[in-house]
């Protein structure tokens, strides 16, 4: 289904996942980890902001749009673009909202294959399969 | 909305929905004429011209005269100074509400700019020209041009510069004017972000102002009021009395729409105080007119009239005689509220029979609207309808469907006065207004279970409504309620999408487990679950598109061209066994509708026709213009047909005769919703064994364009 396994082609790209739906967050973490990504999962925009402010480095922000707290996904993405320009951004949403700026958006629901494709497409080219 | 006691449907409906929009649009348009963002005014390259440039806001007429004098004295070779002087002239003309002079000056400036070699200067002056022209746009065409110009210039400026923010602020207003509320909010949010980061309170207040206005436009009153508060906070802390007055004015209008009249009056009073402090008599007059309108809504008619008179005095004192009709139209409304349509006519007739070029363009729709009400009170329905049509032609696209509702109801009145229906009509309108205001809070807090219960309750209401529909002409007004159900549905769909994603991820991981590989039963079960999951996703997607607030963007569409464009999709939907014959009429029919929605509706109908002919056959699509003003599109199949029972339920949402899983039952109800929203109607005729014909009747487009 998802193509490669972590053993055959490790991808060490680090993903910061922000998603407020607990079960979905857990499953996404499992899916992405199984694919060989390093994942830091947080439960809203404010937490994501906090870990980045505390110096954590990540290659990609993968964030839900509608989340409680001071920063929703879109605001978080704008903050990241401004303060961490090297970081790639992918948003996801289950709503039909159109105001997503020029960020790539993954529409829920999606299959594991669609998830991995979208993540790969969003990651900056050098870090895809850069496995050392 | 509360309504006056007298039972004229037209007047009451007008009070409940029309006046709010009309009066607010009128005043906010006037307020918006205030110079946008100070950072937009890039200093002129020639230092000696800057003092002149700075005086433009204060005294445009004097500056205009001075510019003409200097242009006459200028050597023909001095392209730079000439280009700059024309920029100043354009700005002065914009402040004096003279759009044709703005465009002429801008063209003259551009002709000189082309001779300059310094690209930086060219870009800077071009930016100012584009902003000035955008600011003085009146027609859809001008706004469309402004949008294109602004979008063209956007890449030339640094993303986080204040200039970029100014451009976005302007474009936010232009987008809103073109009915693109989503784009307007998007621009406003980005501008807001840039200005906040740059710590530019005045520009932040401008961005917040645009957001407040667009949110208000879109009916998102809570968001609108938050933004208005931000305008107020920023301009208060940065000590910007002009901005503060503007923010207070907007807030007053939002409060008025929320029926928080006392707070609205307080905000207006503070704004007026500030305007007077700034010796800005014209804006103080706007405040008085605003007060007048609130008092009119509170039925305090004598005080309302007093405020109007005050506004007229202030405009006279400020030399703004052109603004007097604004007060006259509200005074006419006061006369109507007093039950004296003749007095209203006496106020409106002189203005509408004089030279209309001198009346502010944004006011004309309101003048016609009020006179239409006066005529309808006097039983002169033919003239009332003529005025309503005049108003509709003038109105901006965002308002159009609301006006159409009023026109449709007036037409109904014209044919037969169904007084008994009116009261129910008003309650329905009031209910849907209230429901809309509550929905933001609702959707945010709702859990899946509560939402499911609520939607069940609302579906009951909906059934109930469908039953009554047969005997009453309430459909147009109650569509607002259906939009509410739709938004609720979209909220539920969102929650399901989260759950469906969890299942899809889980099933995907499960399928990859080594213990599953080679176990045929497990693989079969997982495959079936994945299929069921995908089918559920399609249902939520359809729920969402059903619930999406469809903002229609109607335009002239040649059906011949439309059919040619969607031919590949039609062929794909029809499949191998079904042939599609298209006749776009002779001469080819033209329709006035939203192209995307019309295409979707046609494709839905073709899919239905295909499903009705499992053994294959021919679908005939025929367009015709039986009258000059109406276009019909008939989609005919030779399929199984429908029984009268099925036919009567065909447009109910979720009704389907297809086997479970092959159709969601939303198709025909969506087509029906779109057609009704487009001021048209849908007719379904069916004979068992002979096939079905679905006929859409829509407003005809004009062939000229």
Taking residue B361's Cβ as centre, other Cβ atoms within 10 Å add up to 14
Position A41 scores a pLDDT of 93
Query: Which tokens hold the place of B564?
Result: 């040619």
Query: Which tokens hold the place of B673?
Result: 């919703």
Position A126 scores a pLDDT of 55
Q: What is the mean pLDDT of chain A?
A: 82
Nearest of B208, B212, B216, B217 to residue B190 by alpha carbon: B208
Contacts of B94 (CB under 8 A, 6+ apart): B102, B132, B135, B136
Residue B12 has pLDDT above 50, yes or no: no
Mean pLDDT of B669-693: 81
Beta-strand pair A88-93/A60-64: parallel
Position A19 scores a pLDDT of 93
Residue B16 has pLDDT above 50, yes or no: no
Give burial (CB, 10 Å; 0-12/13-18/19+) of B447: exposed
Position B19 scores a pLDDT of 46
Residue A27 has pLDDT above 80, yes or no: yes
Read off the pLDDT of residues B127-145 as tens digits, 9 standing for 90 and up.
888 888 888 887 778 888 8
Read off the pLDDT of residues B384-408 as tens digits, 9 standing for 90 and up.
777 877 776 765 543 444 444 445 4
Mean pLDDT of A19-43: 89
Distance from the Cα of A19 to chain B's closest Cα (Å) equals: 10
Q: What percent of chain B has pLDDT over 90?
A: 11
Cβ <8 Å between A94 and B185: no
Top residue of B161, B451, B486, B498 to mutate, by most chain A CBs within 10 Å, is: B498
- Name, of B157-161, B364-368, B583-587, the range with top average pLDDT: B583-587
Nearest CB to A34; choose among B496, B498, B509:
B509
Top residue of A29, A109, A113, A116 to mutate, by most chain B CBs within 10 Å, is: A109
Mean pLDDT of B187-198: 86
pTM (predicted TM-score): 0.44
Least-confidence region, from B174-183, B275-284, B411-420: B411-420
Q: What is the mean pLDDT of chain B?
A: 77
Residue B126 has pLDDT above 60, yes or no: yes
Read off the pLDDT of residues A109-120 as tens digits, 9 standing for 90 and up.
898 889 999 999
Cβ <8 Å between B505 and A31: yes
Contacts of A95 in chain B (CB under 8 A): 490, 494, 544
Query: Which tokens hold the place of B312?
Result: 């007229």
Residue B684 has pLDDT above 80, yes or no: yes
**Cross-sheet strand order for the sheet of B617-627:** B578-583, B617-627, B630-636, B691-699, B681-687
Distances in Å between the Cα of B312 and the Cα atoms of B12, B19, B287, B302 are: 27, 20, 12, 15
For B273-331, give the DSSP string: HHHHHTT-HHHHHHHHHHHHHHHHHTT-HHHHHHHHHHHHHHHHHTT-GGGHHHHHHHH
> Given pLDDT bands bounded at 50, 70 and 90, which one contains residue B552?
low
Position B487 scores a pLDDT of 62
- Name, of A100-104, B378-382, B410-414, B609-613, the range with top average pLDDT: B609-613
What is the distance, to the nearest Å, from the Cα of residue B543 to the centroid of all Cα atoms in its chain?
23
Distance from the Cα of A83 to chain B's closest Cα (Å) equals: 11
| Count of CB pairs separated by less than 8 Å, A with B | 77
Residue A26 has pLDDT above 60, yes or no: yes
Cβ <8 Å between B548 and A96: yes
Position A129 scores a pLDDT of 45
Q: What percent of chain B has pLDDT over 70?
A: 76
Nearest CB to B504; choose among A96, A101, A109:
A109
Give the residue numbers in B contacting A (CB under 8 Å), as ranges: 160, 182, 185-186, 189-190, 193, 197, 490, 493-498, 500-506, 508-509, 511-512, 530, 533, 537, 540, 544-545, 547-548
Mean pLDDT of B652-679: 60
Position A125 scores a pLDDT of 67
Residue B381 has pLDDT above 80, yes or no: no
Distance from the Cα of B192 to chain A's closest Cα (Å) equals: 11
Least-confidence region, from A123-127, B12-16, B83-87: B12-16
- Residue B274, CB half-sphere, CA atoms under 13 Å: how many? 23
Residue B89 has pLDDT above 60, yes or no: yes
Identify which has the larger pLDDT, B34 or B449: B449
Least-confidence region, from A71-75, B8-12, B221-225, B351-355: B8-12
The region that residue B199 occupies, defined by phi over 0 for left and psi between -120 and 50 for alpha, beta otherwise, is: left
Position A86 scores a pLDDT of 92
What angle do helix axes B181-197 and A73-83 make, rounded to 10 degrees?
50
Residue A6 has pLDDT above 90, yes or no: no
Residue A80 has pLDDT above 80, yes or no: yes
Contacts of A35 in chain B (CB under 8 A): none
Cβ <8 Å between A95 and B490: yes
Residue A59 has pLDDT above 90, yes or no: yes
Position B314 scores a pLDDT of 87
**Cross-sheet strand order for the sheet of A14-18:** A38-42, A14-18, A60-64, A88-93, A105-107
- Residue B550, CB half-sphere, CA atoms under 13 Å: how many? 28
Mean pLDDT of B42-52: 80
Position B542 scores a pLDDT of 67
Position A47 scores a pLDDT of 93
């Amino acid at each position: 289904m998802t193509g490669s396994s972590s053993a055959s082609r490790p991808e060490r790209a680090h993903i910061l996942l922000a998603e407020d739906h607990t079960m979905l967050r857990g499953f996404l973490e499992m899916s992405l980890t199984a694919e060989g990504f390093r994942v830091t999962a947080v439960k809203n925009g404010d937490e994501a902001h906090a870990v980045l402010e505390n110096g954590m480095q990540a290659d990609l922000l993968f964030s839900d749009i509608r989340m409680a707290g001071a920063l929703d996904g879109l605001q978080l993405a704008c903050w990241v673009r401004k303060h961490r320009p090297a970081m790639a951004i992918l948003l996801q949403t289950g709503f039909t909202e159109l105001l997503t700026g020029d960020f790539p958006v993954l529409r829920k629901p999606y299959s594991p294959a669609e998830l991995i494709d979208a993540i790969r497409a969003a990651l900056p080219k050098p870090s895809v399969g850069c496995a050392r | 909305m509360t309504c006056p006691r007298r039972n004229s449907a037209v007047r009451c409906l007008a009070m409940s929905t029309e006046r709010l929009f009309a009066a607010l649009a009128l005043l906010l348009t006037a307020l918006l004429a205030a110079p946008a963002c100070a950072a937009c005014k890039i200093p002129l390259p020639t230092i000696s011209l800057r003092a002149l440039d700075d005086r433009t806001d204060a005294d445009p007429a004097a500056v205009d005269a001075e510019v003409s004098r200097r242009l006459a004295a200028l050597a023909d070779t001095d392209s730079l100074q000439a280009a700059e002087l024309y920029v100043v002239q354009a700005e002065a003309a914009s402040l004096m509400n003279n759009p044709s002079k703005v465009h002429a000056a801008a063209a003259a400036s551009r002709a000189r700019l082309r001779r300059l070699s310094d690209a930086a200067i060219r870009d800077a002056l071009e930016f100012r020209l584009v902003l000035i022209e955008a600011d003085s746009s009146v027609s859809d065409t001008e706004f469309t041009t402004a949008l294109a110009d602004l979008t063209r210039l956007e890449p030339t400026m640094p993303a986080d510069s204040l200039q970029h923010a100014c451009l976005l602020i302007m474009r936010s207003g232009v987008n809103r004017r073109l009915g693109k509320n989503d784009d307007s909010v998007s621009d406003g949010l980005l501008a807001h972000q840039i200005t906040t980061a740059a710590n530019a309170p005045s520009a932040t207040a401008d961005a917040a102002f645009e957001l407040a206005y667009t949110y208000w436009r879109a009916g998102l009153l809570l968001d609108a009021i938050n933004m208005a508060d931000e305008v107020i906070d920023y301009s208060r802390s940065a000590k910007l009395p002009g901005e503060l007055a503007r923010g207070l004015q907007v807030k007053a209008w939002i409060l008025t729409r929320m029926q928080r009249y006392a707070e609205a009056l307080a905000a207006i009073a503070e704004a007026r105080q500030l305007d007077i402090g700034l010796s800005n008599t014209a804006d103080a007059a706007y405040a008085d007119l605003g007060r007048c309108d609130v008092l009119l809504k509170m039925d305090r008619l004598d005080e309302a009239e007093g405020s109007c008179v005050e506004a007229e005095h202030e405009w006279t004192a400020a030399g703004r005689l052109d603004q007097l009709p604004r007060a006259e139209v509200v005074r006419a409304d006061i006369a109507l509220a007093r039950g004296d349509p003749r007095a209203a006519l006496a106020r409106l007739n002189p203005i509408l029979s004089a030279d209309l070029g001198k009346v502010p363009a944004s006011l004309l729709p309101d003048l016609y609207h009020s006179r239409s009400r006066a005529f309808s009170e006097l039983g002169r329905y033919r003239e009332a309808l003529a005025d309503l049509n005049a108003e509709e032609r003038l109105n901006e696209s965002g308002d159009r469907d609301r006006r159409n509702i009023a026109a449709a109801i007036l037409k109904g009145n014209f044919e037969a006065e169904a007084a008994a229906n009116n009261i129910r009509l008003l309650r329905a309108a009031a209910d849907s207004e209230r429901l809309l205001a509550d929905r933001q809070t609702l959707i945010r807090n709702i859990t899946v279970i509560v939402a499911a219960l609520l939607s069940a309750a609302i579906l009951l209401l909906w059934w109930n409504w469908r039953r009554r529909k047969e005997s009453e002409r309430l459909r147009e007004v109650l569509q607002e309620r259906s939009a509410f159900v739709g938004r609720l549905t979209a909220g539920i769909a969102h929650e399901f999408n989260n759950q469906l994603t969890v299942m899809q991820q889980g099933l995907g991981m499960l399928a990859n487990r080594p213990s599953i590989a080679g176990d045929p039963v497990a693989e079969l079960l997982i495959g079936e679950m994945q299929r069921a999951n995908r089918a559920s996703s399609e249902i939520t997607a359809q729920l969402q598109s059903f619930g999406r607030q469809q903002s229609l963007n109607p335009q002239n569409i040649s059906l011949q061209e439309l059919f040619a464009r969607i031919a590949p999709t039609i062929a794909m939907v029809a499949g191998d066994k079904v042939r599609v014959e298209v006749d776009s009429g002779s001469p080819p029919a033209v329709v006035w509708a939203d192209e995307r929605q019309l295409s979707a509706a046609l494709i839905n109908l073709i899919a239905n026709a295909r499903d009705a002919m499992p053994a294959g056959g021919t679908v005939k699509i025929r367009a015709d213009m039986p009258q000059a003003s109406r276009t019909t599109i008939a989609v005919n199949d030779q399929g199984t047909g429908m029984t009268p029972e099925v036919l009567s339920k065909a447009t109910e949402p979720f009704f389907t005769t297809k086997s479970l899983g092959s159709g969601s039952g939303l198709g025909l109800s969506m087509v029906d919703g779109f057609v009704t929203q487009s001021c048209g109607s849908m007719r379904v005729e069916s004979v068992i064994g002979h096939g079905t014909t679905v006929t859409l009747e829509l407003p005809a487009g004009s062939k000229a364009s």
